[in-house]
Structure 1
Amino acid sequence: MDYRRLGASGLSVSEISYGNWLTHPDGADCVQAALDAGVTTFHTAAAWDGGAAEENLAAALAHARRDDLVLCTGVFWPEGPGVNDAGLSRKHLVTSLHGSLRRLRTDYVDVYQLLRFDYRTPLEETFLALSDLVRQGKILYAGTAEWTAEQLLEARPIAERHGVPLIANQPHYSMLWRVAEAQVMPVCERAGIGQFASVALAQGVLTGKYRPGEIPPDSRAAKSVEARPLLLPDLLERVGMLRGVADEAGLTMAQLALAWTLQHNTVASVVTGASSAAQVTENAKASGVALDLDALTRIDQLLGSFVQTDPRLTWSPPATG
């Protein structure tokens, strides 16, 4: 496993991060496989599975040395039925973090992520609350997820004024979904903000397991509708052609997709989940892979017009609650 500095900070993260938003029977085995592969960076969120995701991650990491880990959890999504149980208000930030610390069995979170932009709450309120949590030692750094370039530009000076080290952003970013490249990534680079790239496998489409007209019964698309808009026959045929690029590079399709994402200079780590320990081990091998210009050019040519680049597709829904 290779490691990179997160933005302009001194914090090092593993090139492959483990995200535990998926629920599966061998989650502890997956976490152990991640540790064995050198993964140090783990992502979760307070709202995932009603808090069980954080509890399960804590149990799986109970034997690991806390100082060796970079724990990232996040806030925004509804965590209960109350009107203050969602968003980025001071009240929700504080109550959500206290719940996360309890479930994660830790005194502090390394990176506290604002998982979407909150249109209802002034940024001054959000970052003043974060400043208090930083001074209390409960969070070390702050991050965002799926914020637009304009939102990040507005937030950066406020974070600096309140002494909040804003060092991370987590965009959806893959061979197929490049909407962060035009605006978000350049703004982050100038501001010293690194990227935790997520959904790098495009809901599993870039692993090559889907073929035109076929949905494996144990796949994500068989259990959830999120991947189905990508199951276009023409797109799946193009993705299938990437197998030749992967074979020449000595990689699996998933490793090729993860390695491609790591080629961007602002990406510090790729966040990926898995349904088995074997997948975690294989995904980790994408770390340290350098793709040559020929491979990168062929990927662009094969995917062609299926690549989405419109920066307007970065968005945050209104928080409910």
Structure 2
Amino acid sequence: MEYRNLGQSGLRVPVLSFGAGTFGGSGPLFSHWGTTDVEEARRLVDICLEAGVNLFDTADVYSAGASEEVLGEAIKGRRGDVLISTKASLPTGDGPNDWGSSRSRLIASVEAALKRLGTDHIDIFQLHAFDASTPVEEVVSTLDGLVQDGKLRYIGVSNFSGWQIMKSLAAAEKHGMTRYVANQVYYSLVGRDYEWDLMPLGKDQGLGALVWSPLGWGRLTGKISRGKPLPEGSRLHETADFGPPVEDELLYRVVDALQVVADETGKTVPQVAINWLTGRSTVSSVIIGARNEEQLRQNLGAVGWSLTPEQIGRLDAASSVTAPYPHFPYRRQEGFARLNPPIAG
């Protein structure tokens, strides 16, 4: 397993990490992801650690905290062998302080997560969304205090826009507080929006990307292709509205290219899609999920080999879309591009 620094921090993380969204399995969304219990989770953790995958990602909203509880039980007795990443800020109830990133909410959320996980510290703690109702100074000072107390080791964000991240980083730098080093983002061959603003920001500010949904919300599993209907058992029937939309033609174009590369390499479509992501700029780790041992072992096969430059170029071309304003002039006009050279994937 390859290990990379998380952004400009000294923390080394595996290029593949495991997403525990399938642990617990309750609620309208997460019950369709998976219903992994503690015994099954222990087996999946065993397989991950055997392969060198020691980073496990969860959140307080995953199955209403059950994901953290199951993960905590699954790693019991081997806390020193694993890194835990979790998130908070999204609503967990209907009360006035059951959502957001206020000092009160963050302290309570961290304490609750520590209890569910059965640990005294969280290795990577991320804000699950930007809270426009709380001053960024309050947020960063609270997180800095939790880091100083030893309850959090590293901090980051998820689902933030570029300006929201920069405002937060500026506040932390101004007051000499702990900076974000992680940005957990959606990024896939059918969803390359990360590249417009967040990738250049990450490179400039030292944020390492932790990539979620690398298979485009289940679209790049190899089960969907041109002229082939969505399989009856696909979770997309129930969860497609929760994820980012993808135009059919873009999906089919990408899947066609993936299949060609898969045939050339002897790998599967999802393995090729994940491998492509591991070569992208600023990516520290790609979060893979699995409902069972077979899926996990297949996803672990996405690393340990390399795509050729020609294969990468083919996938880049198939997944390319017109950049939104103000980015498209910099991508299409030489004068603009000279001022802001594009970042190589």
Q: TM-score, normalised by structure 1?
A: 0.89
Number of the residue aligned with 2:291: 275
Aligned length: 309
Q: Distance in 2 between matches of 1:81 and 1:30?
A: 34
CA separation in 2, counterparts of 1:228 and 1:12?
Answer: 30
**How far 1:256 sits from its partner (Å)?**
0.7
Summarize deviations over 1:266-286 as a string: whole Å, max 9, x none: 100001211111211221222
Judged with a 3 Å threshold, the aligned counterparts in structure 2 of structure 1 residues 179 and 46 are, in CA distance, closer, same or farther, namely: same
Q: 2:47 aligns with which of 33, 39, 45?
A: 33
Corresponding residue of 2:58: 44
Cα displacement (A) at 1:265: 2.5
Q: String of CA shifts for 1:80-138, please: whole Å, max 9, x gaps.
A: 22111111111110101100000000000011101111111110010111111011100
Letter in 1 for 2:19: G
Distance, in Å, in 1 between the alignment partners of 2:249 and 2:307 is: 27
Contact 1:108–1:139 at 8 Å: present in 2 too?
Answer: yes
In the alignment, does 2:235 pair up with 1:220?
yes
Cα 1:18–1:234 shift into 2, 3 Å:
closer
Query: Which is further off, 105-114 or 231-240?
Result: 231-240
How far has the Cα of 1:20 moved from its partner? 1.1
Of 21, 24, 27, the match for 2:35: 24
Structure having the higher Rg: 2
| Identity %, equivalent residues | 35
Matched with 2:68 is 54
Aligned with 1:207: secondary structure? coil
Take 1:250 and 1:112, find their aligned partners in 2: how far apart are those partners?
Answer: 38
1:91 corresponds, among 104, 117, 126, to: 104
> Which has the higher relative contact order, 1 or 2, with Cα contacts under 8 A spaced 6 or more apart?
1
CA distance in 2: counterparts of 1:231 and 1:219, whole angstroms: 18
Aligned to 2:83: 70
- Aligned partners of 2:18 and 2:53 also within 8 Å: yes
Structure 2: tracts of 5 or more residues without a match? 23-33, 327-345
8 Å contact 1:32–1:60 — kept in the other structure? no
TM-score scaled by length of structure 2: 0.84
The whole-number CA distance in structure 2 between the counterparts of 1:148 and 1:185 is: 11
- CA gap of 1:229–1:289, structure 2 versus 1, over 3 A, is same
1:29 Cα shift? 2.9
Which of 234, 259, 278 pairs up with 1:243?
A: 259
Partner Cα distance (2:127, 2:239) in 1: 25
Distance 1:240 1:275, change over 3 A: farther
**Structure 1 6/184 Cα, relative in aligned 2: closer, same or farther at 3 Å?**
same
- Cα shift at 1:180: 1.4
Structure 1 stretches lacking a partner, 5+ long = 313-321
